[in-house]
């Protein structure tokens, strides 16, 4: 495989397209700043690009030159530039001047709310704010309902916990970050998805496979980065009120703005409550646990001439009460109950130091301090966890000679003090991971690659080396081929990673010692843009394979009454194949069809077996429409879920509705939104196909018996959910 990469590297260098790079600034009377979302359009090609967060853009010029480029941004005067053959591979700076003195003009540029970033070397799938509005999206776990790359599954039938999957692998193998700061790690991983509402999020970037070495070694299956709304462009006030017919209510609010030319701030609040006892399937257990959640985030931004800084605080409290109908934590009787108490606090900061005479060099430092405490009760089993974490990552960003050769290098440090205990079994762990990394990027108009390596010294496991290589090759102006490969590792947190297995009477058999989980991942993707009646459409195909050097697996097949935790050496793997096609049927009407095939197997007790409750085939269809007057938005999503392997001892529990595999089933979600000035009114439904798992809890009549098991959940527990909501928005004030 490595020789193939080397051969491709030399072949790709013989070809080239004309490419123009630049940055767009906006100039007002008081200041000059980069413009986010400014549009660059080619008259001859009739195509364009949108500037990134730092105001930069890259545009592939057509074969017919000279050409005229139009630069535009809301609130600024348009400008044009004629480019010729001599401008190939140039770097330009464009200044647009304020248009506030002219009569008000409404300018519109459509930015895709879902798609693959053309400029990234890695295949980065972007879910924008417009895509997030298409679903109920009141917390992060509901933000992927129209996305095929990420699956969100209920972990058990009593706690309401959810976990993500990428490429059929558990979410612990996906590195989740909030603006490149570690997020949902350790004790947060099982319940933290409920702490961030979708209304706080500006965009979500999903990367399959190993990410860049700068972000750390833990992205074994993928990386999800959340970009929250920024103080510099956040609404003055945004309020979202949500409720559904089962009794769940939520209130989300955020707002902020500029205090002066240097300081900006933003505040975010999320409150949710579910207070109704529902037992739709008549098993005498709550289908959805009673819950309370309160989240708060405050962030600040400072812009100086030589330094930029961001810092803030993120905290949340969550309480859940599940189990049998009528159970409350203060009652001491024979009812089976679930009680979960989560407390979280973290402070974070990012500082950047700029070099006025060397604009392509900078130093950035990311900091985080975190404390998390969790208590949980599952019947007569008790879990306690406490986590103290410190994180710092320093990055130098520069060039070698010119902007075609970029380099990033730096140091990182992670300190973790983690204690987990189930009843009398305790697994305390203190570890430090000190890392050094270097990453080189070569940019060519047709071929770009990123080669990186990081070396980490783990206080418990010694030195670990993680090499990674990513590349993008433009076959034509509309066809991009990408490849990626690399190694990742993580320390498993056995108890919290598998806390849903407390919802069973089966005994835990833990390994004698903890080992690192390690894997290699390699993948390819092909992204094709094509036009029908001048409307841009898109086709994506990708394949990724993950081979585990060492993986912690849970053998649920060896015994009907015990769970065996063991490390599988060198045979477990995941093959993930996905296709997606996006059609613009007409202006405002878009259709998306995806298919995903998963082959995920683990090495259990001498034999390879498909992973439990992992579907091999999955189809997703999504249709959305925005009316011409922009007042109506509708979306419809249908998912066909394939069969999944179940525990081979299901016959002992007298589970009659299937034998070794679950049936196929369909779920349907829909939403309609009406927009009136500053108000949005939306009405929607989830699981409108009314599919329900008939036996969500095995032996529910004897919750303290040896056959009780609430962890074998593979589909929806409740039927259709109808929800409604109101959004109110006051846009940012534009200063004259």
> DSSP of 434-473, one letter per residue?
EEEEEEEEEE-SSEEEEEEEEEEEETTTEEEEEEEEEEEE
Maximum alpha-carbon separation in the chain: 83
> DSSP for 638-673?
EEEE---B--TTTTTTT--S-SSBPPPEEEEEEEEE
CB neighbour list of residue 731: distance below 8 Å, 6 or more residues apart: 235, 236
- Domain locations in the chain as residue ranges: 19-108, 115-730
- Minimal CA–CA distance to 135: which of 665, 721, 685, 681? 685
Look-up of token digits 């080239």: 16
Helix (DSSP H) and strand (DSSP E) numbers for the chain? 3, 43
Torsion angle defined by CA atoms of residues 62, 63, 67 and 72, in that order, rounded to the nearest 10 degrees: 0
Q: What is the CATH number of domain 115-730?
A: 2.40.170.20
Determine the distance from the C-alpha atom of residue 33 to the mean position of all C-alpha atoms in its chain, rounded to a whole number: 29
- Assign residue 561 a region: left if phi > 0, alpha if psi is -120 to 50, beta otherwise? alpha
Q: Strands 589-604 and 573-586: what pairing?
A: antiparallel
Helix (H) or strand (E) holding 5, with range, is: helix 2-12
Per the structure block, which two tokens stand in for 708?
């009780």
What is the per-residue pLDDT for 178? 95
SS3 192: helix
**Burial class, 694, CB count within 10 angstroms (exposed 0-12 / middle 13-18 / buried 19+):** exposed
The closest alpha carbon to 229, from 249, 252, 250, 248, belongs to 252
Q: Which helix (H) or strand (E) holds 60?
A: strand 56-60
On the CB side of 104, CA atoms within 13 Å amount to 3
Other Cβ atoms less than 10 A from the Cβ of 115: the count is 20
- Number of other CB atoms surrounding residue 531 within 10 Å: 12
Q: State which residues of the chain have pLDDT below 70.
A: 1-18, 29-31, 86-90, 99-113, 137, 329-332, 648-659, 733-736
Residue 261 burial (C-beta neighbours within 10 Å; 0-12, 13-18, 19+)? exposed
Per-residue DSSP letters for 67-95?
A: EEEEEEETTEEEEEEEE-GGGTT-EEEEE
pLDDT of residue 437: 98
d(CA 723, CA 718): 14
Alpha-carbon distance of 373 to 122, in angstroms, equals 36
- Give phi and psi for 112, each to the nearest 5: -60, 135
Is 69:48 a contact under the CB 8 Å cutoff?
no
**H-helix segments, 435-583:** 494-497
| pLDDT score of 410 | 97
At residue 377's C-alpha, the angle toward residues 376 and 383, to 5°, is: 50
Q: Across-strand partners of 618?
A: 596, 641
CATH topology of domain 19-108: Immunoglobulin-like (2.60.40)
H/E element holding 132?
Answer: helix 129-132
pLDDT at residue 440, as a whole number: 97
Other CB atoms within 10 Å distance of the CB of residue 690:
12
CA-nearest of 502, 402, 654 to 190 is 502
Phi, psi values for residue 155, rounded to 5°: -85, -25
The pLDDT assigned to 5 comes to 41
Angle formed at CA 577 by CA 574 and CA 581, multiple of 5 degrees? 155
């Amino acid at each position: 495989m490595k020789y193939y990469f080397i051969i491709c590297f030399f072949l790709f260098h013989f070809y080239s397209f004309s490419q123009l790079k630049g940055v767009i600034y906006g100039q007002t009377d008081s200041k000059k700043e980069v413009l986010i979302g400014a549009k660059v359009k080619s008259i001859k090609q009739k195509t364009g690009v949108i500037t990134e967060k730092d105001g930069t853009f890259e545009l592939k010029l057509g074969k017919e030159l000279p050409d005229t480029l139009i630069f535009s941004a809301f609130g600024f005067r348009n400008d044009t530039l004629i480019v010729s053959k001599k401008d190939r591979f140039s770097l330009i700076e464009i200044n647009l001047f304020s248009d506030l003195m002219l009569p008000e003009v409404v300018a519109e540029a459509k930015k895709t709310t879902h798609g693959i970033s053309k400029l990234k070397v890695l295949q980065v799938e972007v879910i924008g704010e417009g895509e997030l509005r298409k679903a109920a999206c009141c917390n992060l776990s509901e933000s992927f309902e129209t996305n095929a790359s990420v699956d969100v599954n209920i972990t058990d039938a009593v706690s309401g916990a959810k976990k993500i999957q990428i490429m059929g692998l558990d979410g612990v193998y996906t590195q989740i970050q909030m603006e490149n700061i570690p997020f949902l790690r350790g004790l947060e991983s099982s319940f933290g998805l409920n702490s961030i509402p979708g209304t706080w999020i500006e965009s979500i970037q999903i990367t399959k496979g190993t990410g860049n070495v700068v972000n750390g070694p833990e992205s074994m299956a993928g990386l999800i980065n959340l970009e929250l709304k920024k103080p510099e462009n956040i609404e003055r006030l945004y309020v979202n009120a949500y409720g559904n017919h089962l009794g769940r209510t939520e209130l989300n609010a955020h707002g902020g703005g500029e205090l002066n030319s240097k300081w900006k701030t933003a505040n975010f609040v999320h409150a949710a409550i579910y207070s109704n006892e529902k037992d739709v399937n008549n098993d005498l257990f709550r289908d959805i646990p009673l819950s309370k959640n309160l989240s708060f985030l405050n962030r600040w931004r400072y812009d100086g001439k030589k330094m930029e800084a961001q810092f803030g605080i993120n905290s949340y409290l969550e309480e859940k009460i599940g189990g049998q109908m009528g159970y409350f934590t203060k009652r001491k009787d024979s009812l089976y109950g679930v009680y979960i108490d989560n407390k979280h606090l973290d402070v974070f900061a990012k500082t950047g130091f700029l070099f006025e005479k060397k604009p392509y060099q900078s130093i950035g430092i990311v900091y985080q301090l975190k404390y998390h405490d969790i208590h949980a009760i599952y019947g007569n089993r008790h879990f306690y966890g406490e986590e103290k974490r410190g994180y710092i990552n320093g990055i130098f960003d520069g060039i070698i000679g010119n902007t075609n050769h970029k380099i990033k290098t730096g140091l990182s440090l992670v300190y973790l003090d983690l204690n987990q205990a189930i009843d009398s079994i305790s697994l305390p762990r203190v570890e430090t991971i000190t890392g050094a990394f270097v990453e080189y990027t070569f940019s060519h108009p047709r071929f770009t690659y990123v080669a990186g390596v990081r070396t980490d010294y783990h206080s418990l496991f010694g030195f670990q080396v993680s090499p990674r290589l990513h590349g993008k090759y433009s076959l034509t102006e509309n066809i991009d081929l990408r490849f990626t490969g690399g190694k990742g590792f993580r320390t498993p947190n056995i108890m919290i990673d598998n806390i849903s297995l407390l919802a069973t009477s089966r005994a835990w058999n833990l390994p004698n010692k903890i080992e690192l989980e390690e894997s290699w991942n390699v993948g390819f993707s092909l992204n094709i843009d094509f036009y029908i009646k001048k409307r841009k459409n898109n086709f994506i195909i990708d394949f990724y394979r993950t081979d585990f050097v060492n993986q912690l697996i849970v053998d649920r097949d060896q015994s009907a009454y015990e769970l065996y935790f063991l490390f599988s050496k060198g045979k477990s793997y995941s093959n993930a194949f996905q296709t997606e096609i996006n059609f613009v049927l007409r202006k405002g009407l878009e259709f998306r069809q995806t298919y995903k095939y998963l082959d995920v197997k683990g090495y259990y007790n001498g034999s390879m077996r498909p992973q439990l409750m992992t579907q091999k085939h999955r189809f997703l269809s999504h249709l959305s429409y925005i009316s011409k007057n922009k007042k109506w938005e509708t979306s419809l999503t249908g998912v066909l879920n394939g069969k999944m392997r179940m525990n081979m001892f299901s016959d002992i529990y007298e589970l009659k509705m299937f034998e070794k595999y679950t049936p196929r089933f369909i779920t349907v979600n829909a939403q309609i939104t009406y927009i009136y000035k500053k108000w949005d009114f939306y009405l929607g439904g989830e699981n409108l196909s009314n599919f329900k798992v008939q036996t969500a809890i095995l032996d529910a009549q004897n919750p303290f018996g040896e056959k009780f098991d609430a962890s074998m959940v593979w589909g929806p527990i409740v039927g259709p959910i109808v929800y409604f909501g109101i959004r109110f928005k006051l846009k940012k004030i534009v200063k004259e």
